[in-house]
Every structure is written in C-alpha cells, then in structure tokens.
Amino acid sequence: MKGLPRTITEAAALLRRRETNALELAEIALRAAHADGFNTWLLLSDERAKAQARAADERLRAGDASLLCGIPWACKDIIGTKGVATTAGSKILESYVPPYSATVVERLDAAGAVMMGKTNLDEFAMGSSNENSAFGAVKNPWRVDRVPGGSSGGSAVAVAAGEALFALGTDTGGSIRQPAALTGVVGMKPTYGRVSRYGVVAFASSLDQVGPFTNSVEDSAIVCQALFGKDPSDATTMPLPSEDLRRDLGRGVKGMRLGVPKEFFVAGMEKGVERAVRDALSELERQGAELVDVSLSLTDHGLAVYYLIQPAEASANLARYDGVRYGLRVEGPDLLETYRRTRGKGFGPEVKRRMILGTYALSAGYYDAYYVKAQKVRTLIKQEFDRVFEKVDAIVTPTSPTVAFKIGQKVNDPLSMYLNDIFTLPVNISGLPGISLPCGLSDGLPVGLQVIANSYQEATMFRVAAAYERATKHHELRPKVAA
C-alpha cells in the first residue's frame, strides 16, 4: 500500500479484512508526514504512534469493533497530550509538556486511534491564516503560496495532504470550518457543550469547541461519536444521552426546509465562491429540499460582538502566562519587569493585539459600554437564530467569502483578516453546530459549503451534508502535490 486509504470507513474495512494492519497504516502516515513540505507538523511522535499501532493490532485481532481502532490521526498542538509537548504555537509554551492528556485525547486513545503527532496552528488559536504561529506559516497543499486558513491550518493540511485520516482542531470563530473550506476537506464544529474542553489550552472559554477534520461527512460523524459526552472535568459539557450520529446519513433531504440567509451573500464575496455555493443550493433543491429565504439581520454585528468577547476572554485566560508558574521566564530586576520581558518575548504580535483589546474592553469605565453590551447583542443573535429554526430544519451558507489567499496578503491588515470569519463566527456566538464540506473549485482552489443546525441537532446537520456529498464528487478532489 503506497498511501493511506481516503476515509476512515475504507481503512477500517481493510483492517478487518486483514488486508493491512494498524502498524502499516501508521508507518505510511509517518513517512508522508516526515516528507511534508507544508510546515504542517510541530512534532511527530514516531515511537509513541508505533506503540499505539501495535496495541491496536492486538485489539483488532481480539475482535475490537471500534471503527477508529488503528486509524492514524493528527492533533492540533493546543490540545494537551501527556508526555508530548503542547506549545499552542507559542514561544511562551515552547518547552511545556503536560502531565495529563485532554479528555478528547483520552477518548480517542480508548477507541484505539493512533496519534501521529502535533500540528501547527496560529499562536493560541488566534488567527485565520496560520501565519501567526511562532514556528512559521503553514502552506496550502493546493498552492504553496496560499494560506490554508486558521487557526487549525496544520490539522486541515494533514488531512488534505494525505498524512492522516482525521485530525482534531479547535473552533472559536471558525478555526475548523474555515481551513476546511480553504483546503477542500470536511470540518465540523459541534454544539457548545457537546465536547469536553478539559486539557485544551484555553483561548476564549465561552466560544471554544473541539471538532474533527475528515475526508467525508460519515467520517466526521464517526469521530464525533467518540468525542461527544459528558465530562465531570468540564462543567460546560451537557449530560445528554448517547445517540447514533450516522442514523440519518442516508435519508436525503426530500421534504426538508433549508434556510438561505440573504445576509450571507455580501458585497466583496468572490464571484466564484458565490457561484459554487448557489450551484450547491440548486443541487439540494433538486434532491427535494425546499429552499427558504430567511433573514439573520444581526449578522453584521457578529464581527464586532466576537472581537469584544473573544479578546476579553483571551486576556483573562492568558494572564496566567507570567513567567512564574510554567512556560517561558525572562528574568527582570523586579517582578513587573519579569512580567514585561516574559510576555514581550513569549507572545507574538497578534496575541499581544488581542490581549490589549480584551484588557481595554474589561477595564473600569469601559466594561459596561463594551463587554456587557456585546454579551447582550450576543443574546439577540442567538434569539434570531432560534426564530429562524422555528421555520427551517437547517441553514445553508458559504463557509468563507473567498478562496485561499496568498501568504502575506493580509498579514498587515487585521480588519481584512478578521473579515474572513464573517460567516462562521455567528455560529460560535450562538453555540450552534456547523459543518463545512467541499462544494467545488474557484480559480482551481476549494470552496466550502456550510450547514448549520439548531443546538444538539448534529444528526440533522450530518443528514443535509451527507445528502449533498453523495450527489457530487467535490469531496474526492485532491491537491496534485499530495497525490
């Protein structure tokens, strides 16, 4: 076998027919990862991966039924891994090795999945292009002069380039869905509270969620099946009964009402992106869905709300990196100067920018005017989604207004960079589930279609996404450099 199978389901079938084994899959993935030319990986843990693969082979021989047993995967380096460095893409945590693993890692370990290593990301997950990493920008395998999207760009590229069968990322304002769209893979953000955040380096705690990158909608549901569930270590997780997330994948969309918000087709959207998304909507209509024009009039306010709440929570979370307890320490003549030197050297410019914004929004005299007001508008945005979901089963939109842009093109224009998340961040503000899947190419680069469902209705979201995927071949397209 020269390369990895395309999907988890294909690999699982090969494993059970004894046509390959977990160790062979791990070695194939490791060879591809070591040959990576996109700066995808911050660390590859060969011996750990091979040990996990051997253990998976023992489980498979004993009849293990988990579809993830023996499947090689990639972990965004903001997710804690016991005994394996976790840097969050930052110099301030360059030498940090967690004493425990995140709950999501423990659940994948329990399923027998094989972790290959840690992937590159925007520092502390702050970015939309993966150019903010302290360890260099990630390149898009479709065109190496283009960004892969962020902040989970490394995880997206690991899947797009055939170096892992799935990957985990985190999504605070679109950091799974947007890079999925720009690299031509499937990326999914669960409902807030579906997945434990325990052991994940905190960025914006009321927005962060862990989710998968995969090569198919079904694979996404398989990974989510392993991740979902109450965790006593994370009070935000919901005690919901387990469910079969794949139960509706084959039902199609006939008779479903799909909302199309006019505010998600804006001036400045690339024509090729709009054309691909309109074609996708027409395909869903041909399959029997009813397209319903809806309005999410507060979408325009989402960007302002997000860039008040997110930096405010980040400034509180990142205050712990003070050079005293863990991470980088740069000595100064006194404690205050030690703080300044440690943070000055340890944090990159985007992290500093957001910490300053957040500290200002939380400061005396401005807290009510900015942070509290943003939280009130957040409630209004969620209520608007609630009203729309009284009329429709799901909402379908573009994922990103553009295809992958050139590395360096927006790095000195923060506002232009922030606008990349305009279609994804309302989902985080509202705590809703969303998935991006390929819906075509524009100028030879992937375009993403976003499906949004109501809270805890991931099965409905997967149903719509699977129906579209089944009717098209866009998800089978691969970057030539990864062939």
Q: Which one of the listed residues 66, 129, 133, 175 is annotated catalytic?
A: 175
Among 45, 128, 133, 151, the one annotated catalytic: 151
Among 452, 423, 450, 425, smallest CA distance to 437 is for: 450
Can you spell out the DSSP letters for 106-157?
HHHHHHT-EEEEEE--SGGG--SSS---TT-PPPBTTBTTB---SSSHHHHH
Q: Are 213 and 187 contacting, i.e. CB atoms less than 8 angstroms apart?
A: yes
Backbone dihedral angles phi then psi of residue 200, each to the nearest 5 degrees: -95, 130
Alpha helices by DSSP H, listed for 233-298, are: 271-286
CA dist 308 → 22, 213, 385 (Å): 46, 28, 20
> CA-to-CA distance for 281 and 257, rounded, in angstroms?
12
Active-site hit among 76, 118, 139, 189 = 76
* Amino acid at the residue 440: G
Q: How far is residue 171's CA from residue 197's CA, in Å, rounded to a whole number? A: 11
Residue 129 designated active-site: no
Crossing angle of helices 22-34 and 46-61, rounded to 10°: 160
Is 242 a known active-site residue? no
And the tokens for 103?
């709950």
d(CA 352, CA 137): 18
Is 206 among the catalytic positions?
Answer: no
* Residues identified as active-site: 76, 151, 175
